[in-house]
Amino acid sequence: MKLIAWAMMLCSCLSIFSFGEMSGEKVQLNQASVYQGLPLAYSETLVEQEMEQIQKEKQEKENKQNARIQKYIEQMTLEEKISQLMILTNPKDITVANIQEFQPGGVILFSVDFNGKTVEQVRGKVDQLQEVSNYPMLVCVDEEGGSVSRISGLVNAGIPAFYGARQLGNEKNWKLVKEQTLQKVALLRELGINVNFDPVADVTTSESSYMYSRSAAGDVKTVSKYVKTVVSVMKKENCISCVKHFPGYGENGNTHEVYIKDTRERMQYEDIDFKPFQTGIKAGADMVMVSHIVMQSVDDKNPASLSKSVHDILRKDLAFDSVIISDDLNMRAVLDKMTLAKASEKALEAGNDMIFSADFQASMRGIKKGIRKGRITEEQIDQAVYRVLKMKMEHELLK
């Protein structure tokens, strides 16, 4: 009878332990209270067996997912694979006919797509686009709040006004950050949007800096806390998050308008800029966006977005294994130096999994040229497509 009682108690404890592990929470078991009366060697053996079973089931699930993804990739043409790596930004490309023909990985909506429209009207457009997509698209938006609020033009009554990161960071009201993020995700879901390019992980102190109002603070601790809070809520609510703008915008100007070179030493990046990104990655960020700032201490010839050396930091030093996306290539920091076709090629060559494209045909042309010339391998394309499809599958967009 004692053995039965011990077993029942252990099963109950293991259920709690398993649930915590599966949900990503750390569960500390108090051996004195949980295993009181159980022979230690016996209890440890059962725990090990339970953990082995959990690991086995997890591995089986991953294997099945990998097999499904590989099957999708094998069925795709080269053009379809490349298309999956693009998020279209230009209204001329974002039509039902083009989505049906191009099969892009995603689209992004801007203020013009929301101004004067109801939630139902926006959702109707999104649904029309998704209906002709063979691989459900990433429907994206930049909804940071504050000065970057694309949805503020919606005409529905009761649309909340979201605070910017700087205001939230100044107040350090993390409960409010959670509430605002929950509201944001709920509204985006209603609109059919599954990706928000948020949170901003840049650390800026000077009001003259381009990213000042969009950054939560000038200190690492506050920005990291903000990033962790937003990413954690988005993860729990199954909305795809993206921390930006790696390797950190710093106290610089606007790459939409000018080519910018940051002369700081790498150590400064490691001590300040990288830390909020590391926090976001640890919290489960789905994507990292790379900026067009030139990180002179690492690569003084290319913007970070087009630099393999910078991407190596993200992959190797920060151990990020999900989707990397370049900031919009349609900016002066890039286009003053090269064409969009060339930039699209260089972005994938550098290690981005996805790009924003303001001209689908130009990007396709550039990437295919890179493959023909051997600067991009089909293996690289397949790896990028794998990451994109895996992310879609993990967020239940793709079965």
Is the pLDDT at 27 greater than 60? The verdict is no
**pLDDT > 90? residue 326:** yes
Give the pLDDT confidence score for residue 157 in this predicted structure.
Answer: 67
pLDDT digits (tens, 9 = 90+) for 202-241: 999 999 999 999 999 999 999 999 999 999 999 999 999 9
- The alpha carbons of the chain give a radius of gyration, in whole angstroms, of 23
Q: What is the mean pLDDT of residues 154-169?
A: 90
Mean pLDDT of the region 108-119: 96
Burial class of residue 356 (count of CB atoms within 10 Å of its CB; 0-12, 13-18, 19+): buried
Residue 39 confidence (pLDDT): 65
With a cut of 80, say whether residue 242 has pLDDT above it: yes
pLDDT at 1 over 70: no
Report helix, strand or coil for 112: helix
What's the rounded Cα separation, in Å, for the pair 290 and 352? 8
What integer is the mean pLDDT of 73-77? 96
Compute the average pLDDT of residues 317-325.
98
| The two structure tokens encoding residue 168 | 């939230």
Mention every residue, 6+ apart, whose C-beta is less than 8 A from residue 244.
197, 198, 199, 200, 201, 202, 288, 289, 291, 327
Residue whose entry in the numeric block shows the structure tokens 């009366």:
37
Split at pLDDT 50, 70, 90, the class of 36 is: low
Model confidence band, residue 102 (pLDDT cutoffs 50, 70, 90): very high
Report which secondary-structure segment, H or E, holds 290. strand 287-290
Question: How remote is the C-alpha of 29 from its chain's centroid?
Answer: 33
pLDDT in tens, 269-284: 999 999 999 999 999 9
Lowest-confidence region among 51-65, 154-168, 186-200: 51-65
* Residue 185 burial (10 A CB sphere; 0-12, 13-18, 19+): buried
Greater pLDDT, 41 or 86: 86
- Region 82-97: mean pLDDT is 97
Average pLDDT for the chain: 90
Say yes or no to pLDDT of 93 above 60: yes
User: Per-residue pLDDT averaged across 153-165, rounded?
Assistant: 88
Residue 8 pLDDT greater than 70, yes or no: no
Q: Is the pLDDT of residue 31 over 80?
A: no
DSSP 3-state of 375? coil
Across the range 25-40, mean pLDDT stands at 49
* 152-161, 265-274, 356-365, 369-378: least confidently modelled range: 152-161
Q: What is the pTM assigned to this prediction?
A: 0.87
Give, in order, the Cα–Cα distances in Å from 143 to each of 82, 108, 109, 211, 389: 27, 11, 10, 15, 23
The answer to whether residue 368 scores a pLDDT higher than 60 is yes
52-61 per-position pLDDT tens digit: 878 877 788 8
CA angle 124/197/155 to nearest 5° reads 40
